[in-house]
């Protein structure tokens, strides 16, 4: 281990204007909502009025989110370690809020399941593609960082975790929840939590976008690597949607499943478009990004 460098008592101090530090400040203000404060009484009533197909659609979404939040809570730590090892103080300060928020998301979906009385085994909703992503690809990419903290390994982890799982799959999930429940005017507690989650996740995705842009700026060859990785993951996002749609032309709430698929495809291209902005930028410009430039709500 090299000699320790203390930043906060040096002339550098804390980079208070940097993107990750501003994100940390925002997380302290907005990331304080408490899942346990949400009132699910109306959700219980709404749940009892839903038909079997509607329950099945919502339960699939909830169980995929529940397991997904558990997975990202358990899998984040190696990234924090890699960032801490590089002495990137402002980024690690933000990441402390990130992990806390994932824990709250895990708590939130369990509270929803408890409220609607679903205490049984739900893993049959974890389809083949779902398992490939959450049981294999995500943990493998994150665990790699325990022994390999190369820029490629960090970029791979961030593509899988921030760009794909959060930026494409979770965003598609919120869209699906709103499409089903907001239109029907039901499950207000679930939707309230989803609204909070979406804001938290915009910071997580914003950080991942910053991190990847920083890495691309420092190691320009990584852009092609990141693009190839996203290309590899794209068919999985499509088949995960198809497994959920299961050949239907109308969803259980009357929506058009094509809307969900189109949303996923748009997310995939938006993520790469934003990352491409790193090309030709100076590192100082990346640290100066505003929240809105990186899609932070």
Q: Which is nearer to Fe ion, 57 or 166 (CB)?
A: 166
72, 109 in Cβ contact below 8 A? no
Residues in contact with Fe ion, shown as a per-residue x/- string from 254 to 293 under the rule CB under 5 A:
----------------------------------------
* Token output for 88: 């990137």
Angle, helix 52-75 to helix 77-85, in steps of 10 degrees:
30
Q: Which is nearer to Fe ion, 206 or 257 (CB)?
A: 206
Q: Which is nearer to Fe ion, 43 or 69 (CB)?
A: 69
Question: Is residue 94 exposed (0-12), middle (13-18) or buried (19+ Cβ within 10 Å)?
Answer: buried
Q: Which is nearer to Fe ion, 80 or 184 (CB)?
A: 80
26, 291 in Cβ contact below 8 A? yes
104 binds Fe ion (CB under 5 A): no
Of positions 22, 105, 144, 229, contacts Fe ion by CB under 5 A: 105
User: Applying CB under 5 A, which part among 102-110, 219-227, 231-239, 265-273 lies near Fe ion?
Assistant: 102-110
- Rounded to the nearest whole angstrom, what is the least distance from the CB of residue 163 to Fe ion in the complex? 12
Q: Which is nearer to Fe ion, 46 or 102 (CB)?
A: 102
* Token output for 142: 């994150």
Q: Which is nearer to Fe ion, 57 or 201 (CB)?
A: 201
- Rounded to the nearest whole angstrom, what is the least distance from the CB of residue 119 to Fe ion in the complex? 22
38-97 binders of Fe ion (CB under 5 A): 69
204 binds Fe ion (CB under 5 A): yes
Q: Which is nearer to Fe ion, 22 or 223 (CB)?
A: 22
What φ, ψ does residue 11 adopt, rounded to 5°? -70, -20
160, 271 in Cβ contact below 8 A? no
203 binds Fe ion (CB under 5 A): no
Distances (CA, A) of 77 to 84, 95, 100, 146, 252: 10, 9, 11, 9, 38
CA-wise closest residue to 157 among 217, 80, 104: 80
Residues in contact with Fe ion, shown as a per-residue x/- string from 160 to 189 under the rule CB under 5 A:
------x-----------------------
Q: What is the C-alpha to C-alpha distance for residues 252 and 231, in angstroms, rounded to an integer?
A: 31
The residues of the shown chain that bind Fe ion, judged by CB under 5 A, are: 69, 102, 105, 166, 201, 204
């Amino acid at each position: 281990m090299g000699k320790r460098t203390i930043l906060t008592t040096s002339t550098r101090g804390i980079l208070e204007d940097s993107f990750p530090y501003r994100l940390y400040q925002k997380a302290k203000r907005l990331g304080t909502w408490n899942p346990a404060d949400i009132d699910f009484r109306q959700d219980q009533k709404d749940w009892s009025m839903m038909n079997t197909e509607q329950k099945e659609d919502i339960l699939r979404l909830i169980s995929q989110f529940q397991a997904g939040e558990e997975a990202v809570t358990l899998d984040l730590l190696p990234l924090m370690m890699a960032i801490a090892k590089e002495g990137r103080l402002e980024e690690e300060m933000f990441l402390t809020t990130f992990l806390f928020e994932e824990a709250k998301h895990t708590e939130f979906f369990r509270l929803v399941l408890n409220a609607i009385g679903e205490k049984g085994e739900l893993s049959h909703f974890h389809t083949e593609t779902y398992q490939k992503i959450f049981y294999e690809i995500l943990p493998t990419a994150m665990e790699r960082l325990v022994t390999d903290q190369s820029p490629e390994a960090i970029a791979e982890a961030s593509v899988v975790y921030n760009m794909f799982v959060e930026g494409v799959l979770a965003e598609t999930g919120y869209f699906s929840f709103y499409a089903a429940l907001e239109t029907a005017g039901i499950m207000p507690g679930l939707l309230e939590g989803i609204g909070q989650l979406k804001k938290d996740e915009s910071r997580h995705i914003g950080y991942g976008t910053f991190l990847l842009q920083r890495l691309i700026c420092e190691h320009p060859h990584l852009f092609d690597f990141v693009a190839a990785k996203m290309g590899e993951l794209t068919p999985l996002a499509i088949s995960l949607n198809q497994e959920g749609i299961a050949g239907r032309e109308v969803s259980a709430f009357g929506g058009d499943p094509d809307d969900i698929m189109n949303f996923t495809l748009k997310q995939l291209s938006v993520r790469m478009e934003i990352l491409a902005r790193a090309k030709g930028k100076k590192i100082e410009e990346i640290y100066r990004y505003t929240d809105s430039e990186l899609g932070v709500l």
